[in-house]
Amino acid sequence: MSDKLVSLKPLIMSFCKGDPNENPWVNGIKRIPEPIIVVPYDTEWDNIYNEEKNKIQQQLQEKIISIAHIGSTAVPGLPAKPIIDIDLIVADPSQEIDYIPALEKLGYVLRIREPSWYQHRMLRLDSPRVNLHIFGEHCPEYIRHLLFRNWLRNHENDRQRYEIAKLAAIEGAVHVMDYNNNKNQVIKDIYEKIFNNIDNCLSELDISHYA
């Protein structure tokens, strides 16, 4: 494990909530929520990710530090909302001029800006349906996304438990935040297992820029 990852361990094992008074919606306007639909795993999701990754790499080239398929659509066999989540790591997310105009050429639209939460930006693509999350180098949230994804890929019992939680979370959920909150306890339990095995989990990550 690299010295950089070792130094990040305390931040990886704690969660930043950001400023609760910050309005993350670009122009202050929140979009009408999408229907919450969870569908069986589709092998096409990985193909969509690879196609979008190639397009993004062609546009941004050396400005990309890392790019990864994260979330439930990145876990084979796991039902998910049919939305591809991608993490894109750049040097400084606050310098939007460095990447947003190029991504707009691909059809992405900036929807969320959260300076207080790891300088997070989220751009939306409607077809295919993609949420593109922008974080900066050495961002703990990005590492957690990879750890959670890999854990579910490698631990069938927890993958099945998460699947049950996802399907149950739909009931009574009007907004996506309701859906996320309904499965939050299972997510916390899985992260606790990851953190109890943090050194092994980090050593399995393939992140060359943390070397």
> Do the strands 130-136 and 84-90 form a parallel or antiparallel pair, or are they unpaired?
parallel
Quote the pLDDT of residue 176.
Answer: 74
Burial string for 143-176 (b: 16+ CB within 10 Å, else e) reads bbbbbbbbbbeeeeebbeebbebbeebeeebeee
From residue 99, give the alpha-carbon distance in Å to each of 27, 52, 57, 90, 206.
Answer: 19, 15, 11, 8, 24
With a threshold of 0.85, does the pTM exceed it?
yes
Name the nearest CA neighbour of 128 among 60, 193, 55. Answer: 55
Geometric angle at alpha carbon 199, from 193 and 200, rounded to 5°: 75
Quote the pLDDT of residue 27.
Answer: 84
Distance of alpha carbon 47 from alpha carbon 62, whole angstroms: 23
By three-state DSSP, how is residue 80 classified?
strand
- 133 contacts: CB under 8 Å, gap ≥ 6: 70, 85, 86, 87, 88, 120, 121, 122
Quote the pLDDT of residue 55.
Answer: 98
pLDDT digits (tens, 9 = 90+) for 45-64: 999 999 999 999 999 999 99
**Where are the domains positioned within the chain?**
19-210
Quote the pLDDT of residue 211.
Answer: 42
78's tokens: 């796991």
Quote the pLDDT of residue 28.
Answer: 77
Name the nearest CA neighbour of 131 among 82, 65, 181, 196. Answer: 82
Could you list the pLDDT tens digit for every one of the 211 residues in the chain?
A: 677 888 899 999 999 999 999 999 998 777 777 788 999 999 999 999 999 999 999 999 999 999 999 999 999 999 999 999 999 999 999 999 999 999 999 999 999 999 999 999 999 999 999 999 999 999 999 999 999 999 999 999 999 999 999 988 888 766 777 787 788 899 999 999 999 999 999 998 876 655 4
Is residue 84 within 8 Å of 52, Cβ to Cβ?
A: yes
CATH architecture for the domain at 19-210? 2-Layer Sandwich (3.30)
Quote the pLDDT of residue 180.
Answer: 79
- Alpha-carbon Rg for the chain, nearest whole angstrom, is 17
